Structure 1
Amino acid sequence: MLVALIAAPPAARAQDAQDYVGSASCTACHAEAAEAWSGSDHALAWTEATAANILADFNDTEFVHDGMTARFSVEPDGTHVITVYEKDGKTTRYPVQSVAGVAPLQQYLLETEPGRLQSFDVVWDTEKGDWFHLYPDQDLPPDDGLHWTGPYKTWNARCAECHATGYEKNFDPRTKTYASTQAEIGVGCEACHGPARQHLDWARAATTQDPPPNYGFRVDFSDREAAIQQCATCHSRRESHLDGNPLPGTPYHDAYNLALLRPGLYQADGQIEDEVYVYGSFLQSKMYDKGVGCVDCHNPHAIETLAEGNALCTQCHNPAGNPRFPTLKPAEYDSPEHHFHEPGSEGAQCASCHMPQRVYMGNDWRRDHSFRIPRPDLADQTGASDACTDCHRDRKPDWAAAAIAERFPDGSQSRPHYGTVLARGRQDPVAAATDLAALAEDQAQPGIVRATALWLLRASNSPTTATRLVPLLDDPDPVVRAAAAGLQRLAPPAERAGRLARLLDDPIRTVRIEAARELLMMPPDQMPAAAQAPMRAAFGEWREAVSQRLDFPETHLQLAGTALTLRNFPAAAGAFDEVVQMDPQRVDAWIMLARLAALSGGPRAARAVIDRARAVNPGDASLDAFLADLNGQGGMAAPPPPPAAD
């Protein structure tokens, strides 16, 4: 198995659990901040299963869904219990191990085996006071990877690091067990500020000496970018390089690989689609570009906005302006002359037009933080939604576009938008290659947009484009540099090696890892001599990053692709087998496994794989078509192609 190739010991943490002192140690000196934090969504992100913390009705209530029944009760000793009668006839009783969240829904965590916590899919609506299922339209039997007992609902892997302080996942890929630890459940003071031992020792010493740098903490929240990156550790869609929480103050791109504006996550113009947790949206905004930070709008302790309604926006968007942002046009924005709606109505709210919202987890509304002007005029080109027809559902985008054009005749609302290029790049990256390359080169555009253009260009299969965009390997933005490294897979091997060798010493881990991945296939004798040691180091960082995610089916798909690229077919088969064990509904993995079985064992071996796949995916057209093709051709003779580029 490829696991043996990439398995690496976890990196030593700069500080251990003894450096964490707990939020209670902070309250004596920081009473105002502690009072604001107490009861906040951060403080209540993960709590113990006590009667005070559990808000749901466990008075022998029941919830029935798709052949499954959940019964909620309280034992005489006060233990809250969920008894699950699954649709396959199995009944299991689970004590509630702990509680996630507080509003607008509360979820309950169940320990399905020692150390493994799973997020139960029947949750409590704290606003309506009733149970509901997170996925009411999906058929999820117990053997489905998306069932609440499956790998996508494992709290240790998917959720805990953003709901805990000082968290370490500690997954053992050989035994497939967890020995997770945390300094504190919930997002405590040290989750953002860092372990406080040094700070506490200094404070207790009552010395007249100067305090240690930044008062013993690793995050300087007076630094706007450092503060944003610290918030982004949880408020972003990303892939982790490290186990659990990176120490606060770790540069974001040393700890995570940020998700780009990809289909399924973002709409074609960059608006939110799936749950992407703010950062990728905010990076697209003019507010970020002009120097606005998270704490300009949010109280970081109470986790509330600094003002209600339009008063939050008119801190800056007003006739007097704001001296911190001299390029902002002073004007009256909170008036019908600007928003064209009845004052005080929902349509008159700045957020309604500039921060459209989508609902996730059944009832949790999240706002887009790209702060964009509504562009219904681009709907035909991008296929994206617009804030106008999100509210005026009986109207069409062309109506909204005409209304905006009439009310803003200067045309400022109809400037060219990167969304049109990204949308065409999604549809046909070859035809859009020239425009995508120009977008990637445009320094005036957000880095995440330029990086997305580079990612789309990977499918253009154009070595000429890879050559044109070599200068972006030195771009100031690490997201762009990493994406530019990925594009160099289109270059001839010798040129690729020369171009990427310098990135193996890049100051940012994400860039180094991406360069190492793209050089993985290079024969050592084609690498510059000076790059040999950096290549080994960067490859080691890639191994370490992958080893932290071996409880994700997606990781084993990546490993399978790597093994196929290396033409290590037994390792690829082992990785695909891991995928289907964890998620039996990954039909693409089953088909690749069957192709590999045909190579080594012929048609009979391939049919055996397809039979296994059809047993858990009855009636799947892709499997039926593959089997028909296999029977017609007598087996697979050519090696399977690597999966599509990520």
Structure 2
Amino acid sequence: MFRMIGSLLCAGALAAVAAATSASAQDTSQAAQEVPEYVGSQACVSCHEDAAENWEMSHHAQAWRMPGTDMLVGAFEGEVFEHDGMQATFTTEGDARIVTVLEKDGIERRYTVHSVGGVTPLEHLILETGKGRMQSFDVVWDVEQKAWFHLYPDQDLPPQDAYHWSGAYKNWNARCAECHATGFEKNYDFRTKRYASTQVEIGVGCEACHGPGAAHLEIVQEGATPPGRYAVALNDWGFSAEMGDPQEAMEQCAGCHSRREAFGDGNPLPGTAFADAYNLAMLRPGLYHADGQILDEVYVYGSFKQSKMHDAGVTCANCHEPHSGALVAEGNAICTQCHSEAGNPDFPTLRLAEYDSVAHTKHAEDSEGGQCVSCHMMDQVYMGNDWRRDHNFRVPRPDVSARLNTPDACTRCHSDEDSDWAAAQVAAWFPEGRWRSPHYGDVLARGRSNSQATAGELMALAQDASQADLVRATALWLLGPGANALDLAELGAFLEDPDPQVRVGALDALKERAAVASAPYLIKGLNDEVRAVRIAAARAIMGQPASRMPDSLRPYVGQAYQEFGAMVRNQLDFAEAHLQVAGYSMVAGNIPAAIASLREAVRINPQNVQAWQSLVRLSAQTEGRAAAARHLRRALRYNPEDQVLQQMADQL
């Protein structure tokens, strides 16, 4: 059994995945026969005219479109775009739109535009490159300026780079389509390296949120749904998603509006709990600043979960009209529907006060500084011209920014001043303000630098019930080896926390402890009702070497492999998945399987130096210096500046 995970991704033994997950696959197949069928958004229009009218012009409806006269207006008239040795020419031949790309390596190819992602402020070309692959082209159309621009002008992306537009990280099937389509299935074949992706409809249609509509039509047309026909739970109107419940509706939004790891092959059945379909990203370096502000593109949900508004029960629909996606009010009125002297009876804990006034904003009424969002929702540009606001709704803390070197709302406008100046100004304006309170960002920043030295602080933050659940979960996730210095029972107590993300964080911490002591907690996590927690426990169990596996844990190893295998079989086109399997294979002692997985990881992403380093080392041990040297030459061809690889070459 310990060698089973190492066999999962061997080129000739993919059947091991099916064997490990046959029961799960059978259950999924059975369920697929018993859920209502999708009927398409047009079946909804005649009865729901107002909702349909709002939806048809929304970013959701136009998230993915086939080329038409209403898009790319002014483009494909012979324009030539050049960047970093690459040249793209945009022409029209009949009804087809053609991109001729001369790459910086001198190879020229012609592509027909398959479809278009997005509507404004940019339109993104999706090109077919063979084997069912759809790729997101890096040169995009600025709708307002009517001009082409490159999404990543400062990056050197030759054709062999995984981040080149034709590489794994720009693959539309795996990285984008799920959130731009309805009823999407990726359908990647690991053996042939082909995609056979399908969807019910391109664009985010009615059923993407409400669920398949066949049962609803039966109720409307026939008066009732035949008893027992569907095994999945449906609401009174025949839908799998209960959009009338604010929290369930928000989780439906979060499935796409979040940075997360997906467990399935495409869109989960609407109504599936978020943590049963995804693992939400922690506030980790590279994604968020240490104080929780957005850094990379994290798609809102992780930011919003840090906010007091989230804790008070505010949801997306309180500010956004669900079908159009537009704000329900303009300017400061979107905030004063709650934050005012009158308040909002739906949120009785709000402090009643006047906020839309110079007395509060300290800025002129019609100025930029007088807008609530300028101070409480700083924006940042992604994809060249697409501004996104941070949904943390934070109180400006220039004092924290001064300590942690993070973005500061004050000095964004007052660019001639620094955060220390801004902190003094805030203190003068609000002598009893929230700036006097400790901020979790300070603890997370210290935890990022040295988790062992700050283990006590991280633990205290995780135990602070007044903090947002995602902050508490991140504190646990950051513990790492620092978890060894903490009380085991106190760590295990987090497995009773009502928030699944906190339980995931606890298991990340517990995997650092000796399995002989942590086994009861790992077993508890493996049998959790929530899938994200079970997978976290499975990873913790699979990371235990056989020599140190306590007898109490051994009966659960197969269950852990099955839980992990059911997920990883949907990620075989991700280099990260193969790298994980390689690690578990090494723990299990199956070195040939680890090498096979590492080879696949570097095939998908030749810039993954961690995989190359492990591959060279294992090859040297098992195949000899000549084999290791061959891998090292290839590694350096793709990563000539990597110092570790260069040192390895000097030592061979």
Scaled to the shorter chain, the TM-score interval is over 0.9
- CA-to-aligned-CA distance 1:451-489 (integer Å, 9 cap, x gap): 111111013251534443111111111111111112111
| Structure 1 unmatched ranges of 5 or more | 632-646
Task: Name the structure 2 match of 1:113.
Answer: 130
Partner of 1:213, secondary structure, is: coil
1:522–1:566 Cα change, 3 Å: closer
- CA-to-aligned-CA distance 1:9-49 (integer Å, 9 cap, x gap): 65327346970000000011100000000111000000112
Please state how far the C-alpha of 1:383 moved relative to its aligned partner.
Answer: 2.6
Q: Which moved more, 1:205-214 or 1:382-391?
A: 205-214
Q: Provide the C-alpha distance between the structure 2 equivalents of 1:209 and 1:505, rounded to a whole number of angstroms.
A: 34
- CA-to-aligned-CA distance 1:324-347 (integer Å, 9 cap, x gap): 111111111111111111212211
Higher RCO, Cα 8 Å, sep 6+: 2
Please state how far the C-alpha of 1:380 moved relative to its aligned partner.
Answer: 3.8
Partner of 2:212, secondary structure, is: coil
Q: Provide the C-alpha distance between the structure 1 equivalents of 2:164 and 2:395, rounded to a whole number of angstroms.
A: 39
Query: Are 1:135 and 2:159 an aligned pair?
Result: no
Give matches, 1:217-616, under 5 Å. 217-460=239-482, 462=484, 464-520=486-542, 521=544, 526-528=550-552, 532=555, 536-616=558-638
Partner of 2:511, secondary structure, is: helix
Q: 2:49 aligns with which of 31, 35, 38?
A: 31
Query: Are 1:124 and 2:141 an aligned pair?
Result: yes
Q: Provide the C-alpha distance between the structure 1 equivalents of 2:608 and 2:225, rounded to a whole number of angstroms.
A: 63
Q: Provide the C-alpha distance between the structure 2 equivalents of 1:65 and 1:559, rounded to a whole number of angstroms.
A: 38
User: Retained in 1: the 8 A contact 2:585–2:591?
Assistant: yes
Q: Provide the C-alpha distance between the structure 1 equivalents of 2:362 and 2:239, rounded to a whole number of angstroms.
A: 48
Please state how far the C-alpha of 1:583 moved relative to its aligned partner.
Answer: 1.3
The number of residues matched between the two structures is 627
Partner of 1:82, secondary structure, is: strand
Please state how far the C-alpha of 1:208 moved relative to its aligned partner.
Answer: 12
Partner of 1:71, secondary structure, is: strand
Counterpart amino acid of 2:425? A
- CA-to-aligned-CA distance 1:217-268 (integer Å, 9 cap, x gap): 1122221210111000000000011110000000100000110000000100
Q: 1:12 aligns with which of 29, 54, 66?
A: 29
Counterpart amino acid of 2:620? A
Please state how far the C-alpha of 1:103 moved relative to its aligned partner.
Answer: 0.4
Q: Provide the C-alpha distance between the structure 2 equivalents of 1:538 and 1:604, rounded to a whole number of angstroms.
A: 37
Q: Provide the C-alpha distance between the structure 2 equivalents of 1:355 and 1:214, rounded to a whole number of angstroms.
A: 38
User: Retained in 2: the 8 A contact 1:376–1:401?
Assistant: yes
1:58–1:278 Cα change, 3 Å: same
Partner of 2:533, secondary structure, is: helix
Q: Provide the C-alpha distance between the structure 2 equivalents of 1:371 and 1:527, rounded to a whole number of angstroms.
A: 49
Q: 1:196 aligns with which of 192, 213, 221?
A: 213
Query: Are 1:21 and 2:39 an aligned pair?
Result: yes
User: Retained in 2: the 8 A contact 1:241–1:548?
Assistant: yes
Q: Provide the C-alpha distance between the structure 2 equivalents of 1:67 and 1:414, rounded to a whole number of angstroms.
A: 53
1:527–1:306 Cα change, 3 Å: farther
User: So what's the TM-score if we normalise by structure 2?
Assistant: 0.93
Counterpart amino acid of 1:546? V
- CA-to-aligned-CA distance 1:77-99 (integer Å, 9 cap, x gap): 21111111111111111110011
Q: Provide the C-alpha distance between the structure 1 equivalents of 2:174 and 2:444, rounded to a whole number of angstroms.
A: 32
User: Retained in 2: the 8 A contact 1:504–1:535?
Assistant: no
Partner of 2:406, secondary structure, is: coil
Please state how far the C-alpha of 1:387 moved relative to its aligned partner.
Answer: 1.1
Please state how far the C-alpha of 1:299 moved relative to its aligned partner.
Answer: 0.5
- CA-to-aligned-CA distance 1:498-531 (integer Å, 9 cap, x gap): 22212222110111111122122375983548x9
Q: Which moved more, 1:3-12 or 1:234-243?
A: 3-12
Please state how far the C-alpha of 1:386 moved relative to its aligned partner.
Answer: 1.5
Q: 1:147 aligns with which of 164, 177, 191?
A: 164
Q: Provide the C-alpha distance between the structure 2 equivalents of 1:619 and 1:510, rounded to a whole number of angstroms.
A: 37
Q: Which moved more, 1:451-460 or 1:194-203?
A: 451-460
User: Retained in 2: the 8 A contact 1:355–1:368?
Assistant: yes
Task: Name the structure 1 match of 2:60.
Answer: 42
User: Retained in 1: the 8 A contact 2:101–2:109?
Assistant: yes
| Structure 2 unmatched ranges of 5 or more | 1-6, 228-232
Task: Name the structure 2 match of 1:641.
Answer: none
Please state how far the C-alpha of 1:292 moved relative to its aligned partner.
Answer: 0.5
Counterpart amino acid of 1:182? Q
Q: Which moved more, 1:418-427 or 1:403-412?
A: 403-412
Counterpart amino acid of 1:298? H
Q: Provide the C-alpha distance between the structure 1 equivalents of 2:193 and 2:74, rounded to a whole number of angstroms.
A: 32
User: Retained in 1: the 8 A contact 2:545–2:588?
Assistant: no
Please state how far the C-alpha of 1:601 moved relative to its aligned partner.
Answer: 3.0
Q: Provide the C-alpha distance between the structure 1 equivalents of 2:353 and 2:266, rounded to a whole number of angstroms.
A: 46
- CA-to-aligned-CA distance 1:590-617 (integer Å, 9 cap, x gap): 1111111111133333222211112222
User: Retained in 2: the 8 A contact 1:145–1:585?
Assistant: yes
